[in-house]
Amino acid sequence: DMLRYKNFIIPTISLFFKSKNDVDVFIEDSNDEEFYKTLFARLTGGKRINKIISCKCKVELIKACEADQNDRERKRIYIADGDLDLIISNNRTDLKYLHVLERYCIENYLVEEEGILEILHTTIVLDKSKIAKQLTLNNYLKGVSNPLIELFLHYSITHLHKMGIKTVSNSVTNYCKQNKSLTVLDFEKIEEKIKHLRGEIQLLIGEDAYNETIYALRQRWPSNFHTLTTIVSAKDYILPLLMFRFKKIKGKESFNLKWESLRLGLAKTANIDSLESLRQKIISA
């Protein structure tokens, strides 16, 4: 069971795990221990991480890290999502022991064909090359990248100006439609949403400031596969969309994994070379 404590106790809490941990890992999410243990077992080069300490959310994680800046024996790392702050270069860089992910969230590192095919192979029971052919993962993602990136660039501007507008907590299903029996992304719904956000932003900061900001963001985050997998939430957008897409693949079985099982599976199967900088931090902690 994952532990949750008031942030001022958190640094002392890790003392209880001395026998279990070579490195104490603090994360944002609750009830996620199995997933992180599975993923970190592949990252840690033999260092023991048996207890993951949850701080509930990013704000609390940062507070706990702030309270833990003094030197002490224990090796520790606080792992924060990049999230919308990543897009506008707004993440903290001044805290020791804090590692902010260089992508939107940890799931963004798991959007990777090798791992996905492995899971689909055991779930759908069909030759892997046939699955790959029906999935056309990279082409599909390239196809949806422009609207999703634009949406997230606009989300990030509202976040920057603390406009209190619901952003990523808008489920991707709000931007979907039914096509035959499949759920697919509806570009028009996204376009409508972007138009609405643009209007709200222009009301607040004016048209010129909006144009300047969006131009700078587009320069920094050009519309391509790499940007998509970096700044669009894989947890809330990319992977749920892919799960709809998996349903179209015809094998002995149809895809029926629940979200948590898919995620845990990917923690085991995905190629995680992209997590190298986190690995280095953990190993050298």
Q: Encoding tokens for residue 68?
A: 């833990």
263 in Cβ contact with 110 (< 8 Å): yes
pLDDT tens, residue by residue, 137-188: 999 999 999 999 999 999 999 999 999 999 999 999 999 999 998 999 999 9
One-letter-per-residue 3-state SS of 153-218: HHHHHHHHCCCCCCCCCCCHHHHEEEECCEEEECHHHHHHHHHHHHHHHHHHHCHHHHHHHHHHHH
pLDDT tens, residue by residue, 58-100: 999 999 999 999 988 888 999 999 999 999 999 999 999 999 9
Provide, rounded to the nearest whole percent, the portion of the chain with pLDDT above 90: 79
pTM above 0.85, yes or no: yes
pLDDT tens, residue by residue, 210-242: 999 999 999 999 999 999 999 999 999 999 999
**pLDDT score recorded for residue 283:** 81
Work out the pLDDT band at 15, boundaries 50, 70, 90.
Answer: low
